[in-house]
Amino acid sequence: MNLRSLRYFLKVAEYGSITRAAVGLHITQPSLTQHLRHLEEHFGLPLFMRHGRGVILTEAGKTLRLKAEILLDEVDGLKSQLETSQSRPHGTLSVGMPISWSELVTNPVIERFRREFPDVHVKLAINASEALADAMNANELQLAVLVETDEQDSFWSHPLVEDDLFFLGPAGSQLQALGPVTLRDVASYPMILPLNLTMVMRRIDRVLVSAGGTLNTVIETPSTNILPLVARGLGYTILSACALPPAGADGAFEAIPITDASMTWSIATPKNRPKTAAVSAYERFLTEQVAEVVSSGRWRTARMKVRSDNKAAAGDADGVAKLRL
């Protein structure tokens, strides 16, 4: 039995004639008769009684007509329901965001999303890029903002924003007197780094090793404990611009730009899951929020990435080449 046979059955019941129903359906009478025969064989009961002027329904046929009309009405309505579900966010949205994005981007986006789509259940993960990538690989996230790398073969990703890196030390460290520095310049300083090195830190270390140096790591600690230790004068660290301490805390730190390195953040979605309406809406809100904080100057030194492919640019707009991390 299939839905087409049921539709043909209803048309015959409506016309009371196989011949007239075949004309109305634009099919041959033998083909229509075959569909009806298959239905009767499926149910094991006669559905029509033939008479000189056409056919009439048996009791089984009358029952099937009632049930078939209900069933086909449901099926016909299903398409519009599915289209509505795709255009209107619903269900659960699982997203992963960087730790350093909370105040500038994540919190405003979540607030807006919940205000416009209160029926969506949001699961928000705040973590380092490696942990978010692992969660996406485990099918726990539908979207994540990750540091762009060449190792994300299981994700669709596109660059969103490029962020400069800064060398951060305690107040009184006289970093401002150095002016802008390179990665090689910071290699000799005692560094306080995340307990589990991030993608960016691992790449920085690889670059320095290839140039004959390495990071002088003296303390490894959870990310949330790095700034307090730097403020106490126990070492230095490297941060993206969006992770720099807020203006009110500037007195406890000194920060200078690293001229030959930057990092690119990308929006990533898994290749093995379709993008839902909720994911698309969140991605749009996210992009708009990043554009707003960049254009307003609240995200220092950041640059929007308007690209059609997934590769970072080879250099800045002013022609100064940077290592993309």
Mean pLDDT, residues 2-15: 90
Number of domains within the chain: 2
Task: Residue 58: name the closest of 41, 70, 46, 67 by CA.
Answer: 46
What's the predicted TM-score (pTM) here? 0.63
Q: How far apart are CA 316 and CA 79, in angstroms?
A: 48
Q: Of 72, 87, 102, which closes a domain?
A: 87
Say whether both 126 and 48 belong to one domain. no
Say whether both 83 and 138 belong to one domain. no
Is 275:158 a contact under the CB 8 Å cutoff? no
Q: How far apart are CA 66 and CA 72, in angstroms?
A: 10
* More reliable by pLDDT, 10 or 240: 10
Say whether both 183 and 310 belong to one domain. yes
Q: Of 53, 87, 121, which closes a domain?
A: 87
Say whether both 237 and 163 belong to one domain. yes
What's the pLDDT tens digit per position in 117-149?
A: 999 999 999 988 888 888 888 889 999 999 876
Say whether both 97 and 75 belong to one domain. no
Q: Which residues span the domain enclosing 54? A: 3-87
Q: List Cα–Cα distances, 149 to 106, 133, 154, 265, 314, in angstroms.
A: 22, 11, 12, 9, 14
Q: Of 41, 72, 87, which closes a domain?
A: 87
Say whether both 235 and 265 belong to one domain. yes
What's the pLDDT tens digit per position in 229-263?
A: 999 999 999 888 888 876 555 578 899 998 888 88
